[in-house]
Amino acid sequence: MSLKATVLGAGNFGTALASVLLANGHDVTLWCYEDGHAEEVEAAGRNPRYAKDADLTGIRATGSLEAAVTGAELVLFVSPSHATRSIAKSVAPVLGADAIVACASKGIESGGATMNEILEEELGDIQGRVGYLSGPSFAFEIVQRRPTAVVVASRSDDVASRIQEAFSTAFFRVYTTHDVVGVELGGAVKNIMAIASGISDGLEFGHNARAGLITRGLAEMTRLGVALGAEPLTFMGLAGMGDLVLTCCGDLSRNRTVGKRLASGMTLDEVTESLGGQVAEGVKTTASTHKLAKKLGLDMPIVEVVHSILYEGADPRECVVQLMGRPLKRERD
């Protein structure tokens, strides 16, 4: 069934997901934040700034949130995590009472709130009509229509099924789960581990080191998730191990790129400037996750050293020595 769908965010991932909805025959509006961007998209039938190969023929683009959301049956947030709250505040007055809300933003706000908590705080009682989309999904490969599998988490079976059906195509397969907390945390914290992996690769520590980081990173993600009520097995799935492996190993990962450039001697400001306006969510998520781990009294040593490199000017090579020299322990402790 065709839906009137709105995508909030015209970056690489938002553009890619808009192209999936278009491929499924939905009536799609793309909200663009930057001045003049919407006019460029409509004129070209493509996004000239991000995910340029995505076919957006027939899409409507607008710079007005009110125009984008009014009357929409499905509203998808694909905004940077730090901007999600302000966008949700603006969306709340015009969001339809029956509209399904989906969120593909990945991150943890500086105060420790997940995207789920932010949307529930700003949009009111939406638990029964919201789902969270996550998993190993580089925008470039979605646009190329290469096989991709993701998961949508919702506390409502009906909402999970409706989002699953809205996005599922021959090249984009969507699974469902109830574990909103696990899916959200997996999608956010894996970006920190990708920065660590990029640092390791940039220092030419090799495949053994990367595999160790991925595995111990998964342990940290799971530890945080369980402390906040997630199901441990979620972290063995698409939003956990799947997305973790992709972002730690794939050359298209902006977070891994951040790590590699830090290892080369660039400062965080220089790395941020080199991204050309694109967002590496792991940078801000490192600060919020570090703060959250301290609050909960959790041992997250990889998060700790990435935080010290990003925000305290620590030397990456010395941080690896620090990790390797920690007191010996049982693997599952």
Give the pair of three-digit tokens for residue 38: 């919407």
Buried b (16+ CB within 10 A) or exposed e, 70-92: eebbbbbbbbbbbbbbebbeebe
Report, in angstroms and rounded to the nearest whole number, the Rg of the chain calculated over CA atoms.
19
Close Cβ partners of 330 (under 8 Å, ≥ 6 residues apart):
none
Of 4, 52, 106, 190, which one is the catalytic site residue?
190
Active-site residue, 190 included:
yes
Question: Among all residues, which ones are annotated catalytic?
Answer: 190
